[in-house]
Structure 1
Amino acid sequence: MKKFISIIASFLLLLVYLPTDSKASELVNYLKEVNVSVHLATSVTLTANGNYQLSNKDTAEITEIPQGTVLTVKKDSSNVNVTFNGTSLNSVTGFDLQEKISSSTSLVRVSNGITYRGSFFLKPNGSKVEIINILDMEDYLKGVVPSEMPASFHKEALKAQAISARSYAANTLMLTSTAASQVYRGYSGEDARTNAAIKETEGMLVKYNGKPIQTFFFSTSGGRTANVGDVWNSKQEHFPYLVSVDDPYESSPFSNWTESFPAETLLKSFGFTDLSAQIYDITLSKTGANGEVRGVTVKTSAGDKTVTGNESIIRNYFPLNNPQLYNKLQTNWFDIQLNGSASQNLSVQTSSGTSAIGDLKGQKVQTASGEVTLSDSKVSIQTANGVMTNEGTGNITSVTLNGKGWGHRVGMSQYGAKGFAERGWTAEQILTHYFQGTTVSK
């Protein structure tokens, strides 16, 4: 009898020390957590298809969310408001929609039309609600890799993309779902081929001197990648692994391109208020190792303007009506061709009188050294009043840009990786080529 009482006492003592709230232990633990901002709107709906609970960040109050529940999230003057199934909850600092352990995959469909894995922070952001997706790194990559690289690419290229995307994310505190960091389309974007590439490279990172680096990538280099110091405001010596390398096997629709811009578009883009002004000349400052443009000078009848900056700034001065290209020039690696006629008041004195000419370029003139042919429309002429210099072609009606590549061209070319992979290169070989002096390991 004493033994039985002792067993009962031990059992009761055990109960005293058991957790009184087991909900925390039911939550999914993300081994390598990433946070991705996926949606920002005044009103958001989320459909929970899985095992979830809602935690008020002000009060820590927990509310169970039944399977299939539709939550409407709004921001009023001071609170985030969540309504569902006749219930209305408020919190100044927002809510956590937390994934709980389940035998099946839990998913949430957001009103941006995309379904995601993981948990969510329903965060106030000004007058709007920001939805931040919280999930494990490997699950995050499943929504990134096929969104950044076609799943039809060679598997070694997909593996290189997976490792590169993992390394980039590991060095970024808050990710977005756009090309501002990495394109992420959640569970909706997943593909079995890229999921396999992610699994085969699980945990692998690109490292320099043993430390993970932020690996940049882009679509197309145009035959050679860029030094980071030639396209961004970065000190090259701080990034010895982001240097220009050959890209010999790249075959892309963006390897070479041509874009034309009418004079009025450029006048507006460069900030001239008089859109009827004549453009006399446009010159490029090509200071990059491969000829990347870091400055543009526009000479007009309304004055001159010079702009300088990194590749993103330069590309935005040449706007495109093409959302696929993010409505800006493909790269800052280009040459310029000026189109138009010279000012109509150009004329020359001949033995038979005055004759109008369309352009000084190509005209033959007599000098003290003999007859020469002008190679440019901009010339200096000795007159009775001194040396006069004209402004060049006079009336440029449009320009044509001939360029190479698509993207910032720093780091790994995705089409280049495809070309290497098709020629037998492994993912590790591809990455250590694009990121010089690095290694690939867990």
Structure 2
Amino acid sequence: MKKKLILLFLLIYIALTSSGVDGEIGMSDYSLKNKRYLAHKHKIYKESILNRAIKDEVHMKMDIIENFPYLYSLPALPIIPPGGRVIKIGLYQNLKEVYISCNGNYSIYSSSGKIIIDENQVLSIKIPMGIIPSREIKKSGEIIKIKPQKMGNILNLIIKNTDYSYRVISFRGNFNIFLNSRGFLTVINELSLNEYLAGVVPNEMPSSFPLEALKAQSIVARTYTLTHLGKHKEEGFDLCSTVHCQVYGGLNTETITTNQAVRETTHKMVFYGDNLADTVYHSTCGGLTANVENVWQLPPVDYLKSVPTQDSYNTFQSEEDFKEFINNPVESFCQESRLFRWEKSYTREDLQNLLSESLPIILNYQAQLGDLIDISIERRSEDGRAQTLLIKGSLGEYRVKKDKIRWITSKGKINKDALPSTLFYIDKPEENIICFKGGGWGHGIGLCQFCAKGMALRGMNAEEIIEYFYPGCTLEVPDEKCEVKREKGNGRSEK
């Protein structure tokens, strides 16, 4: 009798804690290890069309959770006019689980149909661990589409940081989610061009900048978006959300001022003749911008030429002229930037270690440096940018060219450890110290964002700012019935 009672209690326990079976969206008890939260029970949606839709691709497990402890809704700023085509932005490509909520009812679409989820419910999408070897994952797997029922409502992406904390990011538009070829979830935000720009402008330019500077940034970013669409086509989206394309932060980063700049410039774009211009931009030029051919391995482009942003223009007849330009700068539109002038010093040993790691990546072969003997600028362009950096080591002599020079201190990648620009000279104040002294932040081509601020403060409008940095270009609102041609771009975007 005692054994039967134990068996009965065991069966009841299993029934209460069951996670569901095939053909259902199984709801397991949800609880955080942190004792502040109580366990939450979830409904079981039997024979859900959504779970049947992914039954053949058992790569993703989907649950609908009630009473989720991190239900969150950001109050939406005024609706952005739809303006522009619908684009797809890659938010994440390395997630194993994600939670989604909405400030209203929302729908999930699959190849088998549609299911509506209540605003108080959270959608959970996870990859069951260890059941699908990566070689079995299909590149063209099913895409799950998630859309708010009501126009203007927002979707929240809830990402687990630890067992006790979550990060909540809100977005306009819709989500597309699928399992990528590496075995992780790809999350895509699908939205209109204007809605996208509302989340780009405050991340690419401080919202405290004057309105005309923000409007110039909006126009340039809109044009850049269209000239670089499809950059990540093979990964299932148009552009990524990082500096590789343009930094996009969603609704959390929007401000009233930057949204005003986007609205007031709706449809405006930069043209060179009949084609869209490739409006690359950067933070700080340091006194003059760069010719595109002096930064990247590209032919000259008429509107991506060096322009001075200070009272006098130095032609740098000698290295001493350049040092004078760096050490005793005259007034420039971008002089308020903290990196208008900069200095980075390294011990010989530290720089040697950085070069040993960076050179094989930059040069794409096993470059062995050995002991660092000397480092010098072998050639400089007429706009002041270092063109060839000569590095001599006990095991070899190497040359790094153009913008890749910035990567020598950052293990061959553009990140916070990279040199701010190639507008520098090398100083050796002590035998064991090597110092880079320079100006500007970024590649130096096209619009200088801090100059845009300085120009706006002096009364210039967005159109005047843009036409200064892209000589020969004009602002136009294209006929939406006509296909907009793209000027042959350089495909580069590192700021």
TM-score by length of 1: 0.71
Q: Secondary structure of the residue that 1:416 maps to in structure 2?
A: helix
Q: Write the deviation string for residues 186-215 of structure 1: whole angstroms up to 9, x where unpaired.
A: 000010011111111111001111222221
Distance 1:229 1:186 in 2: 34
For 1:267, the equivalent position in structure 2 comes to 352
- What is the identity, as a one-letter code, of the residue corresponding to 1:282? I
Equivalent in 135, 154, 157 of residue 106 of structure 1: 154
List gaps (5 residues or longer) in structure 2.
Answer: 1-80, 135-139, 160-166, 230-237, 311-332, 358-365, 478-495
d(CA) in 1 for partners of 2:297, 2:380 = 13
Which of 201, 206, 209 is the equivalent residue of 2:273?
A: 209
- The yes-or-no answer on 1:225 pairing with 2:289 is yes
Counterparts of 1:280 and 1:308, CA distance in 2: 16
Q: SS at the partner of 1:63?
A: strand
Moved over 4 A (4+): 28-31, 76-80, 272-278
Sequence identity (%)? 30
For residue 240 of structure 1, report the CA deviation from its aligned partner: 1.3
Q: Give me the whole-angstrom Cα distance separating, in 2, the residues matched to 1:122 and 1:418.
A: 39
Task: Report whether the alignment pairs 1:195 with 2:259.
Answer: yes
Deviation of 1:63 (Å): 1.6
1:293–1:333 Cα contact (<8 Å) kept: yes
Q: Is the CA contact 1:108–1:117 (under 8 Å) kept in the aligned structure 2? A: no
User: Higher mean Cα deviation, 47-56 or 169-178?
Assistant: 47-56
**Cα–Cα, structure 1 residues 262 and 430, in superposed 2: closer, same or farther, change >3 Å?**
same
Instruction: Give 2:98's aligned residue.
Output: 44
Match for residue 92 of structure 1?
141
Match of 1:404 in 2: 439
* Distance of aligned partners of 1:425 and 1:299 in 2 relative to their CA distance in 1, 3 Å threshold: same
2:201 alignment counterpart: 145
The letter of the residue matching 2:446 is G
Q: CA 1:36–1:319 in 2, change beyond 3 Å: closer, same or farther? A: same
Number of the residue aligned with 1:345: none
Report the Cα offset of residue 79 of structure 1.
11
The letter for the 1-side match of 2:340 is: S
Does 2:386 correspond to 1:293? yes
Give the equivalent residue in structure 1 for 2:428: 338
Aligned 1:25-424 pairs, distance under 5 A: 32-40=85-93, 41-56=95-110, 59-76=111-128, 92-102=141-151, 104-111=152-159, 112-125=167-180, 126-173=182-229, 174-236=238-300, 239-248=301-310, 249-251=333-335, 252-271=337-356, 278-300=371-393, 302-311=394-403, 313-319=404-410, 326-341=416-431, 397-424=432-459
Aligned to 1:354: none
1:167/1:214 contact within 8 Å kept: yes
Aligned length: 340
- CA deviation after TM superposition for structure 1 residue 108, in Å: 2.3
Aligned partner of 1:441 in structure 2 is 476
Distance 1:60 1:408, change over 3 A: farther
**1:39 positional shift:** 1.8
Q: Matches of 1:175 and 1:420 in 2, distance apart?
A: 30
Tell me the SS of whatever aligns to 1:64: strand
Please tell me the residue identity of whatever aligns with 1:197. Answer: A
Choose 332-341 or 29-38, whichever is displaced more: 29-38
Q: Do the aligned partners of residues 267 and 97 (structure 1) sit closer, same or farther apart at CA in structure 2, a change above 3 Å counting?
A: same
Deviations 1:239-291 (A, max 9, x none): 21111111222221111111001112222222289999653321213342223
| Structure 1 residues 419 and 68, CA gap change in structure 2 (3 angstroms) | same
Q: Distance in 1 between matches of 2:158 and 2:193?
A: 20
Q: Deviations over 1:370-389 (max 9, x none)?
A: xxxxxxxxxxxxxxxxxxxx
Please state which structure has a larger fraction of its residues in strand: 1
Give the whole-Å Cα distance in 1 for the aligned partners of 2:144 and 2:449: 38
8 A Cα contact 1:78 1:92, kept in partner? no
Q: Distance in 2 between matches of 1:63 and 1:439?
A: 48
- Work out the CA distance in 2 between the residues paired with 1:275 and 1:136: 49
Determine the C-alpha separation between the residues in 1 that align with 2:123 and 2:154.
15
Identify the residue that residue 11 of structure 2 maps to in structure 1.
Answer: none
AA at the equivalent of 2:115: T
**Structure 1 residue 307 displacement after superposition:** 2.8
Tell me if structure 1 keeps the 8 A contact 2:105–2:148.
yes
3-state SS, counterpart of residue 331 of structure 1: coil
Q: Is the 1:154–1:422 contact (alpha carbons within 8 Å) kept by the matching residues of 2?
A: yes
CA distance in 2, matches of 1:122, 1:79: 20
Structure 1 distance, partners of 2:476, 2:367, is 57
1:181–1:122 CA distance, 2 compared to 1 (3 A): same
Residue ranges of structure 1 left out of the alignment (5+ in a row): 1-27, 81-90, 342-396
The superposition leaves residues 90-109 of structure 1 with CA deviations (integer Å, 9 ceiling, x where unpaired) of x932311124444x533323
Question: C-alpha separation between the residues in 2 aligned to 1:63 and 1:183?
Answer: 33
1:262–1:399 contact (8 Å) kept in structure 2? yes
CA distance in 2, matches of 1:29, 1:423: 32
Two-structure CA RMSD over aligned residues (Å): 2.7
